[in-house]
Amino acid sequence: MLELDQNPTPAAAAPLPIADCPRPTRAEAEAAVRTLIRWAGDDPAREGLLATPARVVRAYEEWFAGYRQDPAELLSRTFGEVGGYDEVVILRDIPLQSTCEHHMAAITGVVHIAYLPSRRVVGISKLARLVEALGRRLQIQERLTAEIADTLARVLQPRGVAVIVEASHACLSSRGVRAHGVSMQTRRLLGEFAREPRRREILAALAG
């Protein structure tokens, strides 16, 4: 079983809205979009933009649905009947869609997850749902990587966890230096996967 006290301080899940700062209404959110349209230099009252504020708010409900999900709850149902299987479980190329918290630009890529069960396993769809729940929040890739790994370690208590995230950032390609074709890789290894020879083995396996 992975000992959490061997790890750096676990990344906390993104905070919920503070009590003294209530969530704006849908009308207020749509008004904010109209303000941004005017600031950009266009007229929110013209025909092509009339429905844009409502569309943007609906899109935000999808893009940031992760704030309404409990990542730990997604992993709560586990299975013990595994026929004595105690080797690594790997799920590669999980699609990632997230949003950079610095410029609110898109982050797109894939996540590779591996864990070494101690007693129980979780359904593979739940690993994909975990990535989606944590990805659909305002994020930076480094924190997202840590949150995925730390949530798996805390809830499943496996002997090891490895998470690699490979993603492209629109804040880099669409503004500033406008660097296209650039991807960023982050990784977090815990428990047995943080030590040799398991570390080298799991990195090679996740590299495909």
Q: Which residues are catalytic?
A: 100-103, 141, 169, 171
Q: What residues does 99 pair with on adjacent strands?
A: 106, 138
Burial group, residue 144, by CB count within 10 angstroms (0-12, 13-18, 19+): buried
Q: Please count the other Cβ atoms lying within 10 Å of the Cβ belonging to residue 23.
A: 10
Length of the chain, in residues: 208
Q: Which two tokens stand for residue 107?
A: 């982050």
Peptide bond into 197 cis (omega under 30): yes
User: Which H helix or E strand runs over 191?
Assistant: strand 184-191
Exposure string over 157-185, b if 16+ CB within 10 A, otherwise e: bbbbbbbbbbbbbebbbeeeeeeeeeeee
* Under 8 Å between Cβ of 2 and 191: yes
For 86, left (φ over 0), alpha (ψ -120 to 50), or beta? alpha
